[in-house]
Structure 1
């Protein structure tokens, strides 16, 4: 989502471009030509080339023939956040508890523009499906955590988000009608939980609840997910909602005791 806040005078445009180039790589674009990268980040080929040369020199990007790819050093950027925020000790205990209780998988995510970003994950699952690994990004409208996070937005900010987003159908069941999506988010806002079935990928049924900061604002979402066909949305609500809410409350209490962690996660 475009940030309309005026940029400060000290804003470093070259750094912003370099980060945009790094963010342009994903599971569907793991290697790209210069022109492909330039199109994805809306840069001129010359500007994209300067960023790529710098990133290559620093060890974050590699090149094979005419195609660029990320190098393992990029992982140090994510691990710096993970360890500085003590994500493991804060969240993994609760995620493990949920999985040990119900099986399947559990994750925590935050909202970034039109996507959710997974900041913690624990799973016993090994099947081929959308990968819920730390750092993964998925369209918010197609995930139960995304809908919880959207429901936690101020109504006017949500309306701006909805007006600017372009919903993509990831399966035949993905809700892409904006009016229907607005209705779904309003329902989540009223009940304070969300379920989705086969919205992000076939075979994923999930239940999510909000994690609230000290001000009561939703700053993250916690989910429990299973395989469609083996568990229904109604079963998740009946069997897991109470425990999920308790876990979210315990995470919130941990955040209250560590304001810096809340600031990092909820920024």
Structure 2
């Protein structure tokens, strides 16, 4: 009888311990890193209703490979931004979106609803905002400033940490072996709004220009951007000449630049 009672008590204790451990595991905080922006940041493998490998590969946004960079060493180096041992990248960027269309389509409100204190929001817009010939997405620089202000302010309202990124540079213009800034007043607007609001800034425009220049125009054109001859990839039977969007090597290179920028940020 005593043996049976002891067994039952032991079993009950194990159940309680197990439940406690499970509860502890489920309540552990994971820092989410939300990415909001355009095609250069997007994860094409998450596009609903599309077969990425049989439709878009090797097209890849830098956000598509961002998660794989967050090993223990990387997370430890981000103690000024992240207080947890685990990071989950949630890439909400989509091709063709400007600050305005990202907001108008309800994409920002969806991020805002999901935000928790301590989460990060990395915002990188500008490519589509500047597209004057595409009126459905175009945003004048003052509107661009206002939407960045909104994203920053509302991130802070939820206890999140906003980080403004200047737009990654396109693969032009090159002058005397050096890549120059193609983003003009939109680049300057992002820098100025970040300064005005006292928000973290990663100058991805400058970082990408420097990194691409170091690699050289020929290498970057052939290996980083979507430039290849007909027949190389089944999804692009006619080839591709695209100096805005990335192949996998380019996407990873830019993702590494962003992580380096995060490490160098100060509180």
- State the TM-score, normalized to the length of structure 2: 0.28
- State the TM-score, normalized to the length of structure 1: 0.28
Could you say which structure has the greater relative contact order, defined with CA pairs below 8 angstroms and 6 or more residues apart?
2
Name the larger-Rg structure: 2
